[in-house]
Structure 1
Amino acid sequence: MKTRINESSAYCYELLMLPSIAQFDDQYTNLIGQWRHILADDELVFDQVQEELARLSSSINSFYLQANGQFFVTELIDCFPKFPDDIESLIELLGQMDEATILKMLAQLLQADQPEALSAAEVFDLLLEESFTTEQYWAWAKAIHDPLAFIHGFCQLIFDLDRFYQSIYQQYEKERSDYAQRLDVEDLLRRLPMISTDFIEGLQLDEIWVTILSPIFPQLVIMKHHNRGILLLSTRHEKLWTGHELSQEDFFDLLKLLSDPTRYQVLVRASQAEWKAKDIAEELGITPAAVSYHVSRLADALLLIYQNPNDKASIKINQELIRSLIQRLSEDLGLDE
Structure 2
Amino acid sequence: MSYSYNSVHSEMVEQTLLSILACPQEEWTLELTQKERGLLARDLDTFEEIRKVFHPYQERLKRLYLMRSGWSILTTFYLYLLNRGEDPASMEELHDLVLEMTEEELHVCLHLFLAEEDYEKAKDQDYWDMLQGLDLKAEEKWHILTFSHQIVESVQDLVALSRALVPLYQPYLEESRRERESFAQTLEMETILAQAPFLKDLETNLHDQSFEMFVISPWMTHFVFFMMTEKVFPLLHHFVILSSKVDQILHSHNDLDEENFVAILKTLSDLTRYKVLVALTQPHAKVKDIAEDLGITSAAVSFHRQKLQNAMLLVYNLKEKNTKYDVNQLLLQDLVLKIKEDFSLED
The question of a shared fold, defined as TM-score above 0.5 by the shorter chain, is answered with yes
CA contact (8 A) 2:268 2:274 kept: yes
**Any gaps of 5 or more consecutive residues in structure 2?**
none
Residue of structure 2 in register with 1:97 after alignment: 101
Residue of structure 1 in register with 2:7 after alignment: 7
CA contact (8 A) 2:135 2:298 kept: no
Assess, with a 3 A threshold, how the Cα gap between structure 1 residues 203 and 186 changes in structure 2: closer, same or farther: closer
Residue of structure 2 in register with 1:223 after alignment: 226
How far residue 161 of structure 1 moved from its aligned partner, in angstroms, is: 1.8
Residue of structure 2 in register with 1:58 after alignment: 59
How far residue 91 of structure 1 moved from its aligned partner, in angstroms, is: 1.1
Deviates more, 1:29-38 or 1:85-94: 29-38
Residue of structure 2 in register with 1:139 after alignment: 143
Distance in 2 (alpha carbons) for counterparts of 1:304 and 1:207: 26
How far residue 266 of structure 1 moved from its aligned partner, in angstroms, is: 2.8
Distance in 1 (alpha carbons) for counterparts of 2:320 and 2:337: 33
CA contact (8 A) 1:219 1:233 kept: yes
Q: TM-score by structure 1 length?
A: 0.77
Letter in 1 for 2:103: E
Deviates more, 1:59-68 or 1:290-299: 290-299
Distance in 1 (alpha carbons) for counterparts of 2:149 and 2:287: 33
Residue of structure 1 in register with 2:210 after alignment: 207
Cα shift readout 1:12-34 (whole Å, capped 9, x = no counterpart): 11111121233464653233335
Residue of structure 2 in register with 1:276 after alignment: 284
Deviates more, 1:39-48 or 1:57-66: 39-48
Residue of structure 2 in register with 1:157 after alignment: 161
How far residue 49 of structure 1 moved from its aligned partner, in angstroms, is: 0.9
How far residue 70 of structure 1 moved from its aligned partner, in angstroms, is: 7.0
How far residue 234 of structure 1 moved from its aligned partner, in angstroms, is: 1.3
1:266 pairs with 2:276: yes
Distance in 2 (alpha carbons) for counterparts of 1:335 and 1:16: 51
How far residue 184 of structure 1 moved from its aligned partner, in angstroms, is: 1.4
Letter in 1 for 2:285: A
Identify the match of residue 301 of structure 1 among 299, 302, 311.
Answer: 311
Residue of structure 1 in register with 2:19 after alignment: 19
Distance in 1 (alpha carbons) for counterparts of 2:100 and 2:272: 42
CA contact (8 A) 2:17 2:71 kept: no
Residue of structure 1 in register with 2:248 after alignment: 239
Cα shift readout 1:169-221 (whole Å, capped 9, x = no counterpart): 1111211122122211233234443422x434446864122222111111111
CA contact (8 A) 2:277 2:308 kept: yes
Letter in 1 for 2:238: G
Residue of structure 2 in register with 1:322 after alignment: 332
How far residue 109 of structure 1 moved from its aligned partner, in angstroms, is: 5.0
Q: TM-score by structure 2 length?
A: 0.75
Cα shift readout 1:206-255 (whole Å, capped 9, x = no counterpart): 41222221111111111125364211121111222213445676566556
CA contact (8 A) 1:68 1:290 kept: no
Residues 73-152 of structure 1 aligned to structure 2 (within 5 Å): 73=74, 75-76=76-77, 79-80=80-81, 81=83, 84-107=88-111, 109=113, 112=116, 113=118, 115-118=121-124, 122-124=126-128, 126=130, 136=140, 139-152=143-156
CA contact (8 A) 2:103 2:151 kept: yes
Identify the match of residue 166 of structure 1 among 150, 166, 170.
Answer: 170
Residue identity (%): 24
Distance in 2 (alpha carbons) for counterparts of 1:52 and 1:44: 13
How far residue 268 of structure 1 moved from its aligned partner, in angstroms, is: 1.8
1:72 pairs with 2:82: no
Assess, with a 3 A threshold, how the Cα gap between structure 1 residues 323 and 102 changes in structure 2: closer, same or farther: same
Letter in 1 for 2:227: K
CA contact (8 A) 1:68 1:289 kept: no
Is the partner of 1:222 in helix, strand or coil? strand
Is the partner of 2:4 in helix, strand or coil? strand
Letter in 1 for 2:60: S
Residue of structure 1 in register with 2:32 after alignment: 32
Distance in 2 (alpha carbons) for counterparts of 1:310 and 1:128: 23
CA contact (8 A) 1:29 1:35 kept: no
Assess, with a 3 A threshold, how the Cα gap between structure 1 residues 174 and 217 changes in structure 2: closer, same or farther: same
CA contact (8 A) 1:9 1:86 kept: no
